[in-house]
Structure 1
């Protein structure tokens, strides 16, 4: 897809420019405003609420950052928005509300979370919302099926695949060896036709993303850049960093 220079023009703040020590929690309006003030792009996560809305939150269960407990998928949007975060006055917001907050001022990269269970409602809802957004925005997911759904609903919406090489974390234990191999080596690309990639920084260099970048011209983001070694890898192998825990110098 031509015209994606905006995607790599500025470093992208992972879950917003959060700083828990100062009461700025990830994926909250305060973190997003801080990223806007720093002229950084914003990466965020969305989950599906029980009433079918795309809400901005990384975990699929409550409790790590918020009061209360339970699955987001079992709660209404209104109930989720009423829950306080533990260290801030912020409340959970919807993807539509995030679009209103950002209002095109910086790049927005939305990660569609997935259980790899074939349920594409979240991808479809996000695509419906983002088709009408006037600012620079892209969507991405670890799950190829989510990206196929994005293609179906909004073929012109920039879409990317998030990937890594090894898939050893417990969150991937439900995937078969074949699935992990397909994800790591981007074997789904003929189906998903991604416009960009986001690859784990500690797995770079890796053949699949570098071939996609060099031969097919796909922009390569890398996550999550935290350490000095991460920064060197990102600068050497990728087009832009999704960062956390430090502030890149202003352009």
Structure 2
């Protein structure tokens, strides 16, 4: 099992170091460069493009981020690159572009966004981009059908479960994913503390990070329970 203790070391900038999409937008090369320059780790989201590339984008639809209509997975990587993000000069980047920019300066945690029936090859595409990458990198997902592929399609890459919920059915579903040899967990800060997180940290001794922390009060809650924060909208170094 690969070590992911590096996840504990520095706060993780949610979708890069952006300003809540005022001038500097999420999941852009600018946001990633700002995070790396500040010494923060980076979290980003990826979808599968129509031509089988991992492209950095959170939503399934284009409208919120680009003002265009349609679905992100219906575009090729080249078509996505022609879209401007939030009216800025930033374009929708590929994961490969993003990794070249970051260049191992800080760790990166890549969240895979699944669309059942339309995401075949996503895990392999991300693994291909990470092949030979010399920086610290990990993958994670909410989507259990993708996590089941991590060991086969992305062997050797540190892999985690993104999760939330406090109800028994939520927690039992999360426990079922431990059968797939996950290396860490990323949990909703508003759903701490719970027996799943306690088991992962206390019994399995695996790192747990939280998402998404937006102020110092939430950081204090997270710091008391888990190992590191994924943050946006404030500077965690002011604590």
Q: Contact 1:196–1:219 (CA<8 Å) still a contact in 2?
A: yes
Counterpart position of 2:100: 100
Root-mean-square deviation (CA), in Å? 2.1
Moved more, 20-29 or 140-149: 20-29
Counterpart position of 2:35: 35
Counterpart position of 1:113: 113
Q: Contact 1:36–1:105 (CA<8 Å) still a contact in 2?
A: yes
Q: Contact 1:198–1:220 (CA<8 Å) still a contact in 2?
A: yes
Q: 1:21 to 1:140 in 2, by over 3 A?
A: closer
Counterpart position of 1:198: 186
Q: Contact 1:158–1:195 (CA<8 Å) still a contact in 2?
A: yes
Separation (CA, whole Å) in 2 of partners of 1:242 and 1:20: 14
Length-normalised TM-score, structure 1: 0.89
Separation (CA, whole Å) in 2 of partners of 1:116 and 1:197: 22
Q: Contact 1:127–1:150 (CA<8 Å) still a contact in 2?
A: no
| Per-residue Cα deviation, 1:179-234 (whole angstroms, up to 9, x for no partner) | x4543x422211x2100000110000010111111111110000001133311211
Counterpart position of 1:45: 45
Separation (CA, whole Å) in 2 of partners of 1:5 and 1:211: 17
Higher relative contact order (CA 8 A, sep 6+): 2
Q: Contact 1:25–1:87 (CA<8 Å) still a contact in 2?
A: no
Q: Contact 2:13–2:41 (CA<8 Å) still a contact in 1?
A: yes
Q: Contact 2:36–2:102 (CA<8 Å) still a contact in 1?
A: yes
2:197 maps to which of 206, 209, 213: 209
**Secondary structure of 1:217's partner?**
coil
Q: Contact 2:55–2:95 (CA<8 Å) still a contact in 1?
A: yes
Counterpart position of 2:215: 227
Matched, 1:246 2:226: no
Separation (CA, whole Å) in 2 of partners of 1:117 and 1:216: 33
Matched, 1:189 2:185: no
Counterpart position of 1:69: 69
Runs of 4+ in 1 over 3 A off after TM superposition: 116-120, 180-183
Length-normalised TM-score, structure 2: 0.93
Separation (CA, whole Å) in 2 of partners of 1:107 and 1:218: 17
| Per-residue Cα deviation, 1:65-96 (whole angstroms, up to 9, x for no partner) | 11311011111111110011233110011011
Q: Contact 1:14–1:42 (CA<8 Å) still a contact in 2?
A: yes
Counterpart position of 2:132: 132
Q: Contact 2:83–2:92 (CA<8 Å) still a contact in 1?
A: yes
Number of matched residues? 239
Moved more, 26-35 or 127-136: 127-136
Separation (CA, whole Å) in 1 of partners of 2:91 and 2:194: 39
